[in-house]
Amino acid sequence: MLDLSIFGQKRVQLVKQTQITECGLAVLAMISNFYGTKTNLATLRQSLNPSLRGLSIKSLLQQGEKMGLQGRAVESTFDGLKQMILPAVLHWDLKHFVVLERIKKNNYLIHDPALGSRWLSEETIAKHFTGVAAEFQPIPRQSTLKPKLNFRPWSLIRSINGIWISAAQVILLSLVLQAYVLASPFYMQVAVDTVLPSLDFNLLSTLAIGFVIFTTIQSIALFLRSMIMLRIGAILGISISADTGFKLLRLPITWFEKRHTGDILSRFQSIGPINQTLTEGAVIIIIDGLLALTTVILMFYYSTILAMLSIAFMSLYFLIKYSFLYFERNATEDSIVDAAIEQTEMIENVEGIQTLRVFGSEAGQHASWLHKLTNSFNSNIILQRIKNIQEAIYSLLFGLENIVIIYLAIEIILDAGGFSLGMLFAYTAYKNSFINSSGRLVDQFVAYRMLTLHFDRVADIALTSEDECFSEDDYQSENLKESIVLKDLYFRYSDYDPFILAGINLRIRKGEHIAITGPSGGGKTTIAKLLLGLLEPTQGGILIDGIILKQFGIRNLQRQSGAVLQDGGFFHGSIAQSIALFDETLDMERVESAALKAGLQDEVMKMPMKYFTPIGKFGSALSGGQRQRLLIARAIYRSPNILIMDEATSHLDYETERKIIHAIKELKVTRITIAHRIDTIMAADRVFQTQAGRLVEVNKHEYMQNYLKNYTT
């Protein structure tokens, strides 16, 4: 990236947020980089453990202190901004943070992690600034950040089998092609300087036959190289995508909750430019590097002055290209981020089309999507404009270079300087080859620098630690024998969020059925996710038969657990496949038994294709109650020792609910039910309520009496 400080005053470099709520981290990264402690978002995510809910101004200051930045919050009037230490962080629109870098006359340079860098007028600032700001100054040697995380591109390809052999074949064939490129101008020189003056048709025929053979070899080599390059590209593309996809599916659940769907998809799209650059880049660097070196030597052989002139023009092109690098990278990043935001909005519209139709909100949502689409197109236009300017400069620069070279070469010929017409043709060919190969080298250099943008996006997947359950040395096979204990269990999403759970103690005996109820937002679903190992406790722990969960094995616990969660997933396939969740050894007897216990059997048998009936996208071919029962059947199919059900029967009629409760009771497994409906709660052996982050056991009889009293009232 171009360091703007070389032009004088030090500048803030924009850092764009890629998660839903990480504007706080982005502004801290900008301030930290400005003061010389280089960092990036990947480092901050791993070092600071940001909240799903974003940062308040207080937590922003606390996070900044960890980074070696001493900050203070200020309540400032609009005019007071001119007295602040810049760059400063402004609270924006009551929900966002931006960086104010400079004030020039009545214009303010704002770096917005969501929208980019802009000069805004006083009127615009007054509309968005909330009156709260934060000033930061560096504290020497006080940063507790981890070293900046960088993604090494070669880590993606070093383990791919056969890649180096194929690369060697490409290089060998490319050398054959370069030999043709170097020999062709000599053919032209001999033809013009020797054949024409002497009218030697035999020499002309010999040259023609030789170069026909040479051209044939060159064409074959070109074809073989293109086929090998195609193979390398396919190997790289599949390998990188497969490895990245494998890593993605092993990331913590909270990683997905922090990101837009379109943003996650756009990270995979970054694999394309990486694949293309790695596939073509090494060959271009090696072959074009050798070709440029060889041709420039030949150019000096013909004329030192002309060669120096061509090198000067190429050097000027490199400087111009490099000067555009900062702007091109920012424009490319804006284009990627804006496209991801637009894609996310469209995905949400498609998935929520039923809700839009019911509420008649298509026009409003279309307007919202159109705004994001316009931003995406504008970003692409800005990026393409930068590329068009560079192309125009290239065309002008080397058009002038060609005119100057020909003018000087003809002048040398006319002055009888030992430069023939054939030599002019040959030199021009070598010069064009040098310009083309050197230009590709410059473009490849820029492409590699630009590739850091795509590496940063893929690095968010590659450098994020896997869910801790995958770090277990081996998978245990011990089944639950005695009890599950939640001991002094605390949980919050970050150090700056309030505790959702604050000191829960609970013992669940094997085979026992407990119900957890309480107000919405009280932490019931969080308890379920902690029991399943989807979240990690902030304090305290979970003991299985007296063994800490990590030692017992999270995967071991998940293997013997069945769960019906509120956001249970549906995947493309048949009812049987959905119940078995694509079990490779699908057991139809178990599928039918699970469906029977879940109260789904009779309805499935009335369908035309019975258990092979497709469920549609996200289960759209099924009713809400059928989807819920399918999830219950899926949990039962696993023959679990532990069954966790979070509002699993909320969409069912009371008769169906009672049948399912009875069927599950017959399973004789440990059951944890989260519910509000009285029949489900009363079926449990013990009932607990969430109160102020804790679990309080209640008397079933008293709970029933209170329920009836409130219901009657």
**Greatest Cα-to-Cα distance within the chain, rounded to the nearest angstrom:** 119
Helix H or strand E encompassing 635: helix 624-637
Tokens representing 455? 């590496």
Tokens representing 605? 């048998």
User: CA 163 → CA 3, 154, 159, 168, 333, distances in Å?
Assistant: 36, 12, 9, 9, 30
CB 637 within 8 A of CB 557: no
The DSSP bridge partners found for residue 483 are: 509
Helix H or strand E encompassing 362: helix 362-414
Contacts 24+ apart (CB under 8 A), 305-312: 305/408, 306/405, 306/408, 306/409, 306/427, 306/431, 309/401, 309/404, 309/405, 309/408, 310/401, 310/405, 310/431, 310/434, 310/435
Report the distance separating Cα 600 and Cα 596, nearest Å: 6
Tokens representing 360? 């008649």
Residue corresponding to tokens 């919202």: 368
Report the distance separating Cα 199 and Cα 352, nearest Å: 81
CB 274 within 8 A of CB 457: no
Report the distance separating Cα 31 and Cα 38, nearest Å: 10
Report the distance separating Cα 21 and Cα 44, nearest Å: 13
Report the distance separating Cα 81 and Cα 406, nearest Å: 60
Helices (H), 249-324: 253-257, 261-269, 271-283, 289-302, 304-323
Report the distance separating Cα 262 and Cα 251, nearest Å: 17
Report the distance separating Cα 292 and Cα 168, nearest Å: 20
Burial degree of 41 (CB within 10 A; 0-12, 13-18, 19+): buried
- Closest-CA residue to 669 (of 557, 597, 543, 562): 562
To the query of whether residue 469 is one of the catalytic residues in this protein, the response is: no
For residue 87, say if its preceding peptide bond is cis, omega within 30 degrees of 0: yes
Report the distance separating Cα 459 and Cα 604, nearest Å: 45
Report the distance separating Cα 164 and Cα 330, nearest Å: 34
CB 107 within 8 A of CB 119: yes
Q: Identity (one letter) of the amino acid at 387?
A: K
Spatial CB neighbours of 169, under 8 Å, sequence gap ≥ 6: 224, 228
Cα dihedral 17/18/19/22 (nearest 10): -20
Catalytic residue among 12, 14, 15, 23: 23
CB 252 within 8 A of CB 467: yes
Report the distance separating Cα 575 and Cα 581, nearest Å: 9
User: CA 451 → CA 273, 275, 713, distances in Å?
Assistant: 7, 10, 66
Report the distance separating Cα 112 and Cα 394, nearest Å: 33
Residue corresponding to tokens 């094997």: 510
Contacts 24+ apart (CB under 8 A), 58-61: 58/496, 59/24, 59/494, 59/495, 59/496, 60/24, 60/27, 60/28, 60/89, 60/97, 60/134, 61/134
CB atoms under 10 Å from CB of 248, counted, come to 16
Q: Regarding beta strands 483-491 and 539-544, do their DSSP bridges make them parallel or antiparallel, or are they unpaired?
A: antiparallel
Q: Which residues are catalytic?
A: 23
